[in-house]
């Protein structure tokens, strides 16, 4: 991330735009310039990615990358505030870029209109300072966790379902997602939002927390959720915190790691069966 020396100077327009930041203790000119010089990758332009992207753009994060290959569906609009009714059928990354640029024309939005996978993750993730996970499936969650760790990048993670949410931050050397969940649950055991639903305002809450985590990381201030997981019950407005300890036996970040490169995460999560040589030959035809 950006250092104090050599930071991009503020323009008169930026001084006006970010005036409420500049008068804050803990932000000021140096903090704002650190945000402007930061590069953040958001995986997913959906329920979580929407508030994350919007608040980071408004805060002045200089470069925002968005990875998503889906198109906007009318069922998304109940929670995905990056998109409007007129965007239905359009690529989410295109809608997202237009929305962010409308809010802050100075933000450099880089779109990756493709599914992130084992083939391209290490071409994308190392180009950013901070990685934010807004994906809603286990294959992508494990992939992004592993790739961020292998690239030495902090990962701000979040999840939502029905009325429940969670958020945490993983930093290299301080544990990872696999420390808590070494392996994914059996296919079908845990429903996703399309199967169980999610209340529309919940991703706004969790995504805002993730955006705050990114802002603190970018500026190097405050105390992040590193080694802690925040659990939210929106029905009772109960916020609980659990400690996350680095697992010395973790397959990724432990003392004797087994995962030293990206794997096939769809097979790992039981989404697709292993492919035989014979099947590969048939598919190649």
Domains, in order of start, for the chain: 38-284 (3.40.50.720)
198 or 77, greater pLDDT: 77
Mean pLDDT for 113-136 is: 96
> Using CA atoms, how far apart are residues 92 and 89, in angstroms rounded to an integer?
9
pLDDT at 184: 84
- Give pTM, 2 decimals: 0.91
Residue 118: closest CA among 281, 17, 263: 263
Mean pLDDT for 254-279 is: 75
Mean pLDDT for 158-179 is: 94
| Cβ-contact 37, 7 below 8 angstroms | yes
> Using CA atoms, how far apart are residues 10 and 261, in angstroms rounded to an integer?
40
Q: State how beta strands 39-43 and 63-67 pair.
A: parallel
> Using CA atoms, how far apart are residues 187 and 131, in angstroms rounded to an integer?
26
pLDDT digits (tens, 9 = 90+) for 7-63: 989 999 999 999 999 999 999 999 999 999 999 999 999 999 999 999 999 999 999
Residue 230: closest CA among 162, 282, 165, 176: 165
């Amino acid at each position: 991330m950006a250092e104090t020396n050599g930071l991009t100077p503020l323009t008169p327009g930026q001084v006006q735009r970010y005036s409420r930041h500049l008068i804050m203790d803990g932000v000021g000119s140096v903090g704002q310039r650190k945000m402007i010089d930061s590069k953040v990758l958001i995986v997913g332009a959906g329920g979580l990615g929407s508030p994350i992207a919007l608040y980071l753009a408004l805060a002045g994060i200089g470069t925002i990358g968005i990875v998503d290959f889906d198109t906007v569906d009318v069922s998304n609009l109940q929670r995905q505030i990056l998109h409007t009714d007129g965007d239905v059928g359009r690529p989410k990354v295109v809608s997202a870029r237009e929305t962010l640029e409308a809010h802050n024309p100075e933000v450099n939005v880089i779109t990756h209109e493709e599914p992130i996978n084992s083939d391209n993750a290490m071409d994308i993730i190392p180009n950013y300072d901070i990685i934010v996970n807004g994906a809603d499936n286990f294959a992508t969650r494990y992939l992004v966790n592993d790739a961020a760790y292998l690239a030495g990048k902090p990962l701000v993670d979040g999840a939502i379902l029905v009325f429940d949410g969670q958020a945490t931050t993983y930093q290299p050397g301080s544990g990872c997602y696999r420390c808590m969940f070494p392996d994914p649950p059996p296919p079908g055991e845990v429903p996703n939002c399309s199967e169980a639903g999610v209340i529309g305002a919940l991703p706004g809450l969790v995504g805002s927390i993730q955006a705050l985590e990114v802002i603190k990381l970018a500026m190097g201030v405050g105390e992040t959720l590193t080694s802690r997981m925040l659990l939210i019950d929106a029905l009772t407005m109960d916020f609980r915190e659990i400690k996350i300890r680095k697992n010395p036996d973790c397959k990724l970040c432990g003392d004797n790691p087994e995962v030293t490169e990206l794997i096939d995460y769809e097979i790992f999560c039981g989404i697709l069966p292993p492919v035989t040589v014979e099947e590969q030959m048939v598919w190649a035809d």
